[in-house]
């Protein structure tokens, strides 16, 4: 969702299929293919790690490379928080993802069960808590 | 606090990243709310060992090493599962562990594993060994469960009435660990500029960073 929103904000169109692995490609962003290859190599601990690191360094330079490494690192922490605590998708993210989560097969992930897609707005849980925010408001524009 | 040295990478690592990693390592060594410093280090060691085998099917993994200090087997299992198989944690699995350990003790372990996984994955990315864990400090857990938490539809309680994405309050039951983790998030991704869709002052554009984030999440089969 943030990929789509941030791409639209700069007048570009991201290809989310490439981002989630439902298609080959660069996700519609500069250096996307090299970044995806490297992200996969680190996350999957693949033998391609060294080559993909060299290729990404060459393509982005050291400063940009470190930012990719940092993003890969922190998202390997964030996914563990999300899955292990079972947080549901935020209310607006639920709405925004309606158009693509089925088509891309995201609902096949076991953790998709943590979100009640039929819940009424504002019904984030038994308490009625909602995960709305200013960011959500932006994404809905 | 021991300084982390990433110079073997040959890269210039932003000071903010190194400082956040050092702060996390320092925090690991002290007592938490439910686990002593020595137990926390043992839990993190178990997580590291398990994460190193994350691509190996569970039935082919090596038997885990015994911890250096007494730690409940259920707690060690949580650390290993979160490190290597977090996508397999469902409501039943979580509730079973929470019944054995307590919800805040469970969340403290999740936070420790999330922090060390972020640091170690970064090290793998830049091609250096992960930093050595610190010597544990003496001290007893304070056994304080925070107030103001409740059901938000997650497996565990979280802070109520807090705006923003749910992941920001997922670790509410372990507030100090949550702060440590989100210092890492701020240094390695975004906090203050999270709401800005255009990053003009940063080396990568927001879509470039979000492409990486989306790919890592999908590889981990994380729907959130």
DSSP sequence for B80-102 = HHHHHHGGG--HHHHHHHHHHH-
Give residues 134 to 153 of B whose Cβ lies within 8 Å of A. 150-153
* Minimal C-alpha gap between A13 and chain B (Å): 10
**Preferred mutation among A79, A89, A93, A128 to probe B, highest tally of B CBs within 10 A:** A79
Q: pLDDT, tens digit, for every residue of B9-39?
A: 999 999 999 999 999 999 999 999 999 999 9
Task: Output the CA–CA distances (angstroms, integers) from residue B133 to A8, A27, A86, B28, B29, in the order listed.
Answer: 43, 37, 28, 8, 8
Q: What is the DSSP string of B42-66?
A: HHHHHHHHHHTTTTS-GGGSPPPPP
Question: What are the residues facing B38 on neighbouring strands?
Answer: none
Residues of A with CB below 8 A from B194's CB? 135
User: What band does A99 get if pLDDT is binned at 50, 70 and 90?
Assistant: low
Residues in CB range of B16: below 8 A, 6 or more apart: B186, B187
What ipTM goes with this model? 0.95
Largest CA-CA distance found in chain A, in angstroms, rounded: 51
Helix ranges restricted to H, chain A: 2-9, 16-19, 32-43, 49-85, 91-96, 134-140
Torsion of CA B55, B57, B58, B59, to 10 degrees: -150
Q: Are A92 and A141 in contact (CB under 8 A)?
A: no
Mean predicted confidence (pLDDT) in B138-161 = 96
Tell me the residue length of chain B. 224
Q: Which of B12, B8, B220 is nearest to B118 (CA)?
A: B220
CA distance A61 to chain B (A): 10
Distance CA(B52)–CA(B173), nearest Å, equals 27
C-alpha distance from B136 to closest chain A C-alpha (Å):
22
Asked if B182 reaches chain A (Cβ–Cβ under 8 Å), the answer is no
Chains A & B: contacts with CB separation below 8 Å: 311
Percentage of the residues of chain A whose pLDDT score is greater than 70: 63
Residue A134: CB atoms within 10 A of its CB come to 11
pLDDT tens digits for range B101-111: 999 999 999 99
Instruction: Report d(CA B93, CA B78) in Å as an integer.
Output: 10
Closest CA of chain A from B68, distance in Å:
25
- Determine, for residues B220 and A69 on separate chains, whether the beta-carbon distance falls below 8 Å: no
B82 touches chain A (CB under 8 A): yes
What is the model's pLDDT at position B165? 87
Calpha distance B18→B25 (Å, rounded): 11
């Amino acid at each position: 969702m943030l990929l789509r929103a941030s791409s639209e904000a700069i007048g570009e169109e991201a290809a989310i299929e490439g981002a989630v692995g439902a298609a080959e490609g660069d996700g519609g962003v500069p250096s996307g293919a090299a970044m995806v290859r490297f992200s996969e190599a680190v996350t999957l601990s693949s033998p391609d790690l060294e080559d993909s690191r060299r290729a990404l360094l060459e393509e982005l330079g050291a400063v940009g490379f470190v930012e990719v490494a940092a993003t890969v690192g922190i998202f390997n922490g964030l996914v563990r928080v999300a899955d292990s605590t079972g947080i549901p998708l935020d209310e607006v993210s639920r709405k925004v993802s309606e158009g693509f989560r089925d088509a891309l097969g995201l609902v096949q992930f076991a953790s998709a069960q943590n979100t009640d897609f039929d819940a009424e707005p504002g019904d984030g849980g038994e308490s009625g808590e909602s995960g709305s925010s200013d960011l959500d408001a932006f994404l809905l524009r | 606090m021991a300084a982390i040295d990433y110079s073997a990478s040959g890269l210039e690592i932003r000071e903010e990243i190194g400082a956040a990693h050092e702060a996390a390592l320092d925090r690991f060594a002290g007592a938490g709310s439910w686990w002593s410093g020595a137990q926390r280090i043992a839990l993190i060691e178990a997580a590291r060992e398990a994460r190193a085998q994350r691509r190996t099917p569970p039935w082919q993994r090596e038997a885990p090493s015994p911890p250096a200090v007494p730690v409940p087997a259920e707690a060690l299992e949580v650390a290993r599962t979160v490190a290597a198989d977090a996508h397999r944690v469902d409501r039943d699995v979580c509730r079973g562990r929470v019944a054995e350990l307590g919800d805040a003790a469970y969340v403290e372990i999740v936070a420790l594993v999330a922090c060390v996984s972020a640091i170690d994955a970064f090290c793998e990315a830049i091609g250096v060994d992960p930093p050595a864990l610190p010597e544990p400090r003496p001290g007893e857990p304070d056994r304080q469960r925070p107030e103001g938490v409740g059901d938000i539809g997650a497996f565990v309680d979280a802070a109520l009435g807090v705006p923003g994405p749910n992941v920001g309050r997922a670790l509410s039951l372990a507030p100090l660990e949550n702060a440590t983790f989100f210092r890492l998030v701020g240094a390695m991704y975004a906090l203050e500029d999270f709401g800005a869709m255009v990053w003009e002052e940063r080396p990568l554009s927001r879509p470039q960073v979000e492409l990486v984030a989306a790919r890592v999440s999908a590889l981990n089969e994380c729907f959130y």
